[in-house]
Structure 1
Amino acid sequence: MKRTTIVVALLVAVGVGLAASGFFAGAGDEAPPPTAEDPAPSEVDEGSLIEVAGDYRLWPYTSRSTSAEGRTLAINVLFHADAETTRRAIERRSGTDWEETEEGEAAATADTEQVRALVERDWADAHSSDRYSYVEGPDGGVWLRETFELHDGAYLGVRDHLRAYESPDGAYTAVQAHEEYYDWFRLRHTVPGIDDPAVRLEDEFIHGRVDAAVSREYRGVEGGWSDGWVSVVELASLAVLGGTLLRRRTRTAAVELAHRSRREAARHVDAALLGAALAAVIVGVRVAGVALETAYPGVGPKLIAGPLYLVIAVGVPALVVARAPESEPSAALLGVVVGLGAGFVIDFAALGMAVPPDLLVHRVALLAALGVVAMGRAAADRPVLAAGLTAWVVGLALPLADVI
């Protein structure tokens, strides 16, 4: 196949990928886009309020503003306790002793692999954008700011994030639990869902030595990524509290790409080294971000993310421009696509996240753009190189401008 045909096909892939990413935009944002069946209400609907406990009914959502128009995610956990008691229950630990699950117990609990994947949770204060919720009592309605926030995980990695809202009479605390991870190409958090973190939170009280009753109630909550069910925790004692995290990580795709990279390395060492270097940059940025955040907790995560983003935005194409001339154009293309693609897959696999469709097609577009850069540089074709660099810049600029 002629080089021109390949370049045109790659540039078309960039355009289609960026357009498709814009079409899917919002799939990983905190507020899913409204649909015809799920319009954004202009004011709090009386029928959307639910009874919990005490004198105040709850609007089971969070909002970016003190208006229902700013609705984001649904409340998915309810504690029949005040905020101080709820926070102490989540933060404190127990000496839980996990054992391998016997075959007869597998259906009722977790399988052996999940038990071995057990990780102790480490809840800490979280600081993020303000989100509000709404309650209505005998004297009318009132908008509430977060009473407290907690997170388990690293800001620049993956974490569970809790926002808690205490009812004015202290009869209950409503919690919005969601999972989020930092996307280096969007420079912001992406929320893949709210169900799994709610399950993990309730598991802390089901499996820990905690005097608490855990149940699920169907409240018919619509929108905000809710399936209508809410986890309900009734705390009876705070003598011994703790938690555990069950999470299964899968890296099948990453292993397959690693095997493919080794096979190509035998044929084209320089191109394979370029691909390995690109994968190392993507994974290294994630590791460095989490490590620096952990080592310097007093430094704002965004101050850490800024320089590391430049490593990706400038360092990745610079590496291709510097190393691609040592390879054949087709080998350089293959090395870049496999290497950078492996970096993306390993990054997502290490986080244990499902890839939202808008991010998937965006990454494909970036792969195609950098592939054009590699071919243009390897063939000493300046127009092709310029087209590839332009596509790379556009691919980075659109998510920063919040277009995709």
Structure 2
Amino acid sequence: MQRKPAAVVLLLVVGGLVLSGALGGTADDPAAEGVSAESLIAVEGEHDLWPYTSRRRSVSGRTLAMNVVFRDDAGTVRAALTGDGGSAWEVTDDAEREADGDLVADAVGREWRDADGSTRYSYFEGADGGEWTTVAFEVHDGAYLGSRDHVRAYESPDAAYTAVQVHEEYYDWFRLRHTVSSIDDPAVRLEDDFIDAPVSAEVRREYRGIDGGRSDGWLSVIEIAVLLPLAGTLVRRRTREALAEAARRLRREAGRHARVAVLGGVLAGAFLAVRTTGVAIELAYPGVPPKAIAAPLYLVIAAGLPALVALGARRSDPAAAFLGVTAGLGAGFVLDFAALGVAVPPGLIVHRAAVLVALGLLAAGRAAGDRPVLVSGVVAWLVALFLPLADVI
């Protein structure tokens, strides 16, 4: 490869990374600082709700829209979700007490647990003015370093209702933070949790015209009539489709170029091992902060993947090296997303493609002994690492 083509490819990679930031950004923050009366919705009691969460005590930090409202106080909602056996259940006789005990035991086996997340605020307004509040509780179903349904609950000042923002997210090892993939699907799963479980609850949907924050305008409204702990586990409706065509291509290339095919498989395995190792450590040692687990594992991606390419691509055909690296690691990306069962934002698809091209250039340059191509791959790789960490993507 010559210098001019290498420079052109490098520019394309950098351009793709910048484009991925444009496609994968979060919802636009509103410019106004005050909460307008038009943006508030009436739910229950004496306080209206601003149906969003915010990074700060201002509408300028708006993030995701509220998608579920419980016409109950936060303590009741949390107990229903987690099966908290310490709650003050109303028991009238010994037989009923025994039955309730069995239900509590079943509910404790659920996956909803206390969650860690970034600080988010919401806003309530009553006759005496408005106030910004933090979460009343935060729970999740899943693994911090894998994928999860994440609930943030906000109780109205008069405890007449609890507004919930539930979203599906997965831990992105390039961004070292979570990426939200959906707010609609987890809201449906939360609805089903109350529809299917042994709890007397009214579940319905109301169109409120909520604009922005990934909302489709609809709000799920749940009213728990008789509080009993929920039993069973959340049935996830996540697809785990495998990419058979990618696997077939890898097998064909393995027959022709065994060395680079093995390299591609090693890269895919290393990337998938980061996810599985992180989740395994998180589950085995729940007291360890997830970010403390993620930090050393990130080095496997940042330094380990290019090191494997540099070692494995020597004395290989440059074109085969490029194909083996991009196909192998690309299959790893696909399998990772498939195992998580999440929808992938377009911006991250562009970013992952640019990452593959960057390592492919590094492999081709190493195989051909072409310094300009090798340097182009290294620069593209560093840019691919920097932009997600800078929250551009």
TM-score scaled by structure 2? 0.90
CA distance in 2, matches of 1:180, 1:264: 34
CA distance in 2, matches of 1:386, 1:240: 60
1:222 paired to 2:211 = yes
Superposition pairs for residues 144-183 of structure 1, below 5 Å? 144-183=133-172
* Structure-2 residue corresponding to 1:267: 256
Q: Which digits, 9 at most, give the CA deviation of each residue in 1:279-299, with x for residues without a partner?
A: 001111111111111111111
In the alignment, is the contact (CA less than 8 A) between 2:80 and 2:228 conserved in 1?
no
- 2:314 maps to a residue whose letter is P
In the alignment, is the contact (CA less than 8 A) between 1:270 and 1:326 conserved in 2?
no
CA distance in 1, matches of 2:62, 2:176: 22
Select the residue among 39, 59, 68 that pairs with 2:59: 68
CA distance in 2, matches of 1:349, 1:247: 13
Select the residue among 125, 129, 142 that pairs with 1:136: 125
In the alignment, is the contact (CA less than 8 A) between 2:263 and 2:324 conserved in 1?
yes
* Structure-1 residue corresponding to 2:95: none
CA distance in 1, matches of 2:44, 2:200: 20
Q: Which digits, 9 at most, give the CA deviation of each residue in 1:210-231, with x for residues without a partner?
A: 1111000111111111111100
1:354 paired to 2:343 = yes
- Cα deviation for residue 326 of structure 1 reads 3.7
In the alignment, is the contact (CA less than 8 A) between 1:278 and 1:339 conserved in 2?
yes
In the alignment, is the contact (CA less than 8 A) between 1:10 and 1:369 conserved in 2?
no
* Structure-1 residue corresponding to 2:14: 15
Instruction: Find the residue that maps to 1:169 and give its secondary structure.
Output: coil
1:86 paired to 2:85 = no
- 2:321 maps to a residue whose letter is A
Select the residue among 234, 247, 250 that pairs with 1:244: 234
Superposition pairs for residues 5-404 of structure 1, below 5 Å? 7=6, 10-26=9-25, 29=26, 32-34=27-29, 39-92=30-83, 121-242=110-231, 243-253=233-243, 255-404=244-393
Q: Classify 1:346/1:3 alpha carbon distance in 2 versus 1 (closer, same or farther; 3 Å).
A: farther
- Cα deviation for residue 15 of structure 1 reads 2.5
- Cα deviation for residue 169 of structure 1 reads 1.4
* Structure-2 residue corresponding to 1:113: none
- 2:245 maps to a residue whose letter is E
- 1:55 maps to a residue whose letter is E
CA distance in 1, matches of 2:8, 2:242: 29
Q: Which digits, 9 at most, give the CA deviation of each residue in 1:301-360, with x for residues without a partner?
A: 111111111000100000011110142111111110100111111111111112111111
CA distance in 2, matches of 1:17, 1:321: 23
Instruction: Find the residue that maps to 2:153 and give its secondary structure.
Output: strand
Identity, % of aligned pairs? 60
CA distance in 2, matches of 1:369, 1:131: 36
- 2:149 maps to a residue whose letter is D
Q: Classify 1:189/1:217 alpha carbon distance in 2 versus 1 (closer, same or farther; 3 Å).
A: same
Instruction: Find the residue that maps to 1:216 and give its secondary structure.
Output: strand
Aligned-pair Cα RMSD in Å: 1.9
CA distance in 1, matches of 2:358, 2:184: 35
CA distance in 2, matches of 1:148, 1:297: 18
CA distance in 2, matches of 1:245, 1:43: 40
Q: How many residues are matched?
A: 369
Q: Which runs of 5+ in 2 are unaligned?
A: 85-108
- Cα deviation for residue 238 of structure 1 reads 1.9
CA distance in 2, matches of 1:121, 1:57: 32
CA distance in 2, matches of 1:164, 1:22: 30
Instruction: Find the residue that maps to 1:78 and give its secondary structure.
Output: strand
- 2:236 maps to a residue whose letter is L
CA distance in 2, matches of 1:260, 1:5: 30
Q: Which runs of 4+ in 1 moved over 3 A?
A: 2-10
Q: Which digits, 9 at most, give the CA deviation of each residue in 1:151-193, with x for residues without a partner?
A: 0111111001111011111111111111111111111111122
CA distance in 2, matches of 1:335, 1:33: 39
Q: Which runs of 5+ in 1 are unaligned?
A: 94-119
- Cα deviation for residue 9 of structure 1 reads 5.7
- 2:301 maps to a residue whose letter is I
Instruction: Find the residue that maps to 1:33 and give its secondary structure.
Output: coil
In the alignment, is the contact (CA less than 8 A) between 1:271 and 1:332 conserved in 2?
yes
* Structure-2 residue corresponding to 1:117: none
